[in-house]
A and B are shown apart, each in its own frame.
Chain A
């Protein structure tokens, strides 16, 4: 009888349920509720479900007491003076759980560029090639990143590196945010990724009021000239030229821009259909699962339930809003300089968030003038925004932030 009771006792003490009643156990419970809420948003509200669902489930897994799937201490070890120690990869391989091993892909910066490979293979840069002026709008919308960097740097709760990691949310580009955050502020990775993907899903809610506030109905009604046709040669030269120019200008952009443009070259070359299919389907789907679930796993109670997370959520909104506003303002400048030939609404698409932001431009333009068809015009700044945010990320990774 005693043996039976001892066995039950031992099982009960090992049970995760008991952990909820131990010190800080309630925090894990709160994290589980947050994870379930994110799962709800991903499934019911379809908030970027492809990434939010894996992120939310990774969050759920990592906060299950006793699961031992993820050990942040393996990646964030510090010495007696509180200085970060280099990661002992052998230790990770010997003692790590499933998510620790998969997390190496984030830590070593492998997953985001591979996602960019798939994105490149799916993206048509034709609208950008036919209207290179769109690059200006793609650059303007990156103002959100740098404005947020200043605001976050002023706040006493963030270091300069953390400010840089947070500001990249304004690029509205998930893989870029994850790459920069994993390099500069890995302790905030979970919060930054969740904020970035949540706001990307909320682009149709955040952008229209800003776009309408900054433009008149006359400006929103502008019907733009159809884009010129783009030859196959131009489409093939585009990824090669962009890679050469951008990577030579800022070498730290090589992983993102290089893979983005490689994917695009595969697509435009027209001779490697099998590789294109793999890059856009199997490879991208596998990496999406690995990336999402491991980024979610970094959102442990100790790193997520902090004042910093609230700050990140607020700053993310500022970053998106300023990015949208600066894109529209530059669109207005182009409207003035071209004597009304450019619809300023396409500027908001410069924040990246492909193709959601371009669809928002189309929708708002159509509300003002039902005969308006801005989608293809907005795709130019939209894909320029991807390149722009990768350049901004390269800049933040290049400058010494101490």
Chain B
């Protein structure tokens, strides 16, 4: 009898925790779908080691340049990991980046997985 009581509390507890959180998943999944249409100016990026810049206009170059800060590292291009094969530094003149006029790492031979 005692064992049945303990097990019933256990399974009820786990069930309620899952039901509660799955209910929230549904609500926020729907909210997320709706929310995409409501993104306002104050929207906040939840992950931003993803600074992407195209210098095609300034350098007449079709290479994509990624400037990443804080040692961070997951670099994405069109939602796919960016494979960096070779990195060479290049000073860019009259190019203002988000962090001021600095040298920008130029990525060459970029291959997208």
Partner-B contacts on A (CB < 8 A): 124, 126-130, 132-133, 135-136, 138-139, 142-143, 145-147, 149-150, 153-154, 160, 163, 223, 225-235, 237-238, 241-242, 245-246, 249-250, 371-373, 376, 384, 387-388, 391-392, 395-396, 399, 401
Contact = CB atoms under 8 A, between A and B. Distances in A.
B10 A238 contact: no
Given A146-B14, A150-B10, A373-B72, 18 more contacts: A129-B31, A130-B32, A136-B18, A138-B21, A139-B21, A142-B14, A142-B17, A149-B6, A230-B46, A231-B38, A231-B39, A232-B43, A246-B20, A249-B19, A387-B21, A391-B17, A392-B13, A395-B12
A391 B23 CA distance: 13
Contacts of B43: 229-232
Contact of B46 (A126, A142, A232, A391): A126
A250 B20 CA distance: 9
Contacts of B98: none
Nearest to B35: A234
Nearest to B79: A225
14 contacts: A127-B47, A135-B22, A136-B21, A136-B22, A139-B22, A163-B6, A229-B45, A232-B43, A233-B35, A233-B38, A241-B31, A246-B20, A376-B47, A387-B24
Interface in B16-56: 16-25, 27-29, 31-32, 35-36, 38-40, 42-47, 49-50
A384 B21 contact: yes
Residues of B in contact with A, size category:
35 or more
Interface of B: 2, 5-7, 9-14, 16-25, 27-29, 31-32, 35-36, 38-40, 42-47, 49-50, 72-76, 79, 81
Contacts of B27: 241, 245
B10 A372 contact: no
A330 to B, nearest CB: 10
List 10 tightest A-B contacts by C-beta distance, closest first: A373-B74, A132-B28, A135-B21, A126-B46, A139-B21, A232-B42, A395-B13, A153-B6, A146-B10, A132-B25
Nearest to A401: B9
Contacts of A372: 74
Contacts of B40: 231-233
Contacts of A384: 21
Contacts of B39: 229, 231
A391 B6 contact: no
